[in-house]
Amino acid sequence: MTPSAPPAAVATPAAPSVTDDERDDLDRRFAAGDPDALRLAYDAHGSMIYTFCVRKVGSDRAPDVTQEVFVAAWRAQERFDPAKGGLAPWLMGIAKFRCVDALRRDGRHAPERSVGDEWSLADGSAPAGPEPASDPDTDRLADRMLLAEALETLDERARRCLELAYYHQLTHTEISAATGMPLGTVKSDIRRSLARLRYHLEDDLDPQTSDEGSAR
Residues 144 to 203: which contact other proteins by CB under 8 A?
144-145, 147-149, 151-152, 166-167, 169, 171, 197, 201-203
Binding segment for other proteins (CB under 8 A), chosen from 19-27, 72-80, 153-161, 182-190, is 72-80
**146 and 201 in contact (C-beta within 8 Å)?**
yes
Question: In 10 A of CB 48, how many CB atoms?
Answer: 21
Q: How far is the CB of 4 from other proteins (least distance, A)?
A: 11
Choose which of 5, 19, 83, 109 interacts with other proteins (CB under 8 A). 109
Helices (H) and strands (E) in the chain, counts: 8, 0
Number of residues engaging other proteins in binding (CB under 8 A): 87
For helices 37-57 and 138-152, give the axis angle rounded to 10 degrees: 130
Residues 6+ apart with CB under 8 A from 30: 37, 38, 40, 41, 77, 80, 82, 87
Q: Give whichever of 171 and 179 is closer to other proteins, judged by the CB atom.
A: 171
Choose which of 115, 130, 157, 192 interacts with other proteins (CB under 8 A). 115
Residues 6+ apart with CB under 8 A from 106: 57, 61
Contact call for residue 140 and other proteins (CB under 8 A):
yes
Cα within 13 Å of Cα(193), Cβ side? 25
Q: Give whichever of 24 and 74 is closer to other proteins, judged by the CB atom.
A: 74
**109 and 103 in contact (C-beta within 8 Å)?**
yes
Q: How far is the CB of 138 from other proteins (least distance, A)?
A: 8
Q: Give whichever of 46 and 130 is closer to other proteins, judged by the CB atom.
A: 46
Q: How would you class 178 by CB atoms within 10 Å of its CB: exposed for 0-12, middle for 13-18, buried for 19 or more?
A: middle
Contact call for residue 27 and other proteins (CB under 8 A):
no
Q: How far is the CB of 34 from other proteins (least distance, A)?
A: 9
Contact call for residue 136 and other proteins (CB under 8 A):
no
Q: How far is the CB of 142 from other proteins (least distance, A)?
A: 7
Question: Which CA distances in Å does 79 have to 33, 72, 90, 96, 109?
Answer: 10, 11, 10, 17, 29
* Radius of gyration over every alpha carbon of the chain, rounded to an integer in angstroms: 19
Q: How far is the CB of 89 from other proteins (least distance, A)?
A: 6
Q: Per CB under 8 A, which of residues 31..70 are in contact with other proteins?
A: 33, 35, 38-39, 42, 46-48, 50-51, 54-55, 63, 66-68, 70
Q: How far is the CB of 148 from other proteins (least distance, A)?
A: 4
